[in-house]
Every structure is written in structure tokens, then in C-alpha cells.
Amino acid sequence: RATPAPPAQAPDAAAARIESLEAELAKVALMRPELERLALAAAERDELVERLRTAEERAAACEAEASAARAACEAATVQAGDLSTRIEELTAERDAQANRLARAEARVLYLQSDLEETRAELMRLKGVPQQILEPEPQLPPVALPEEPETEEPAAAPTPELPAPSRMALLDEAVAAVRAWAQAWSEQRVDDYLSFYSPSFTPADGDSRESWEARRRQRISAPSSIQVDLDRIVPVVTGNRATVTFVQSYSSDRFSDTVSKSLALERDDDGSWSIVDERTLPAAAAPPS
């Protein structure tokens, strides 16, 4: 019986497998740079993720710090508002005290002037001859056929009332200006207009009727008005006075501060009327 020959395909298959493995190894060798790049990219991604997490933590911390700073700023703003209100109150109180002091000093000067005038009048009266101030004493009767009639002593002349002193006129003029501002603040239009003399002419050349109509509308329209006067300087010459001051006006619609000058005349009844009203430039403001 004949023995079968061994298969001849085995070496060929092994050689093919080796070639296939070598080809796979060659592919892997070709892919190694790409794999290394991917590994580097993955490491960079991890680093970026870590940096992002750190940035988010810092952002959260900054937001918390910003919130705290915002709250502190709001608290400081409220405190500043309270301080500003208190400063305004103290300033108003200081101005009121200063005005009261100025009026008290003016009153003292007026009383001193009045005292000096009273003393001068008393000295004048003391200088009148005695026989005019007092009747002569009656002599005892004498035995004469006829007693001569004696003349009655002349009565002492009634002294005239002294004219108002300069300080009294200054005080009157300032009081008139303050009453004018008070009527304006209280929106008493008729009282406000009554302070103006019939001879008053508006500075802008408008007619008296148009000016009064415009003033009525401007005073009546706002819901509230506040007019404050400061740095009042009166000057009196005879029956005329010029009063300069700083006027602060405020309403629910508008506010401003200007320097003004009012010229006034003293009427026969002792009241003062405005004959001229002007707004002064800043350089001509009354001294503080």
C-alpha cells in the first residue's frame, strides 16, 4: 500500500500569516505618531479642564466679593444720603441762627440809637429856660390898692416825635423784604403783588399788566414754593432803600440761586414798596 505525501500548503499559509502580521505591524508603526498626538491632545484637554475648573472657582469667589462690595457700596450710599440730609438740616439751622443773630444785633443797634436820641431830646428839654418849663411861684399878697395882674407862664412847647432813626429804617426795609419773600413762598399772590409800588416798572420793559399776569401764573402753578434769603445787605438814604441779597428758589418744577437787588421807597404810612427789582451778575453778589 502507498504512503500519502504531506500537504504542501502549510508553509505557504504560515508565510502569508507572517506577511499579514508584518503588514499590521507596519500599520501600527504608521499610526504611532497619531496615537502619540492624541495622547498629547488628551493631556492638554485634561489640563484645560483643570484650568477651567480653577477659573470657575475664581469667578465664583470674585462674584461673592463683588456682591459684598456692592452691598457695602449701597450701605455707604444710604449713609451718605443720611449725612447729606443732616448737613442740609444743620446748614438750614445755622442760617436761621445767623439770621436771628443779625436781626438781634440790628435790634440792639436800633435800641442804642433810640436811647441816644432819647438822651439828646432830654438834654434839649433840660436846656429850656426854667420859667418856661415851670410856672413862677406866687408872691404873698401885699397891701396895695390894686393888685397887679401877673401873666401866666408860657407853657412848655410839646416836643415833636423824633423821626425814625437810620437803624429803624434799615430794620423796616429788611422786614419788608422778608415779608415779600414769605408771601411768595406761601403763594399768596395778591399779598406778593401788593409789595410793588404803582410806579414799579418791570426790568424787561414789559407792561405792568402783562408782568402781573405772568407772575400770577408762575406763582400759582407749582404745588409748593420755597424762597430763602441770605447775605442781606440794606442801604438806606432818606426814604429810599436798596436791599441786596442771595435768593434761593425751589419748587416741584424748578430751582435756582441768584443775587438780587430791590429798590424800595418808604410811604407816608411807614410801609415800604418795591420800585425796582433786578437780578445781579455773580460778580456783584452781596459779600458773605
Residue 128's pLDDT is 42
Lowest mean pLDDT segment, chosen from 66-70, 174-178, 221-225: 66-70
Q: Does an H or E element contain 91, and which?
A: helix 10-126
Residue 91's pLDDT is 81
Other Cβ atoms less than 10 A from the Cβ of 180: the count is 23
The single-letter DSSP state of residue 9 is: S
Percent of the chain surpassing pLDDT 70: 72
Residue 130's pLDDT is 42
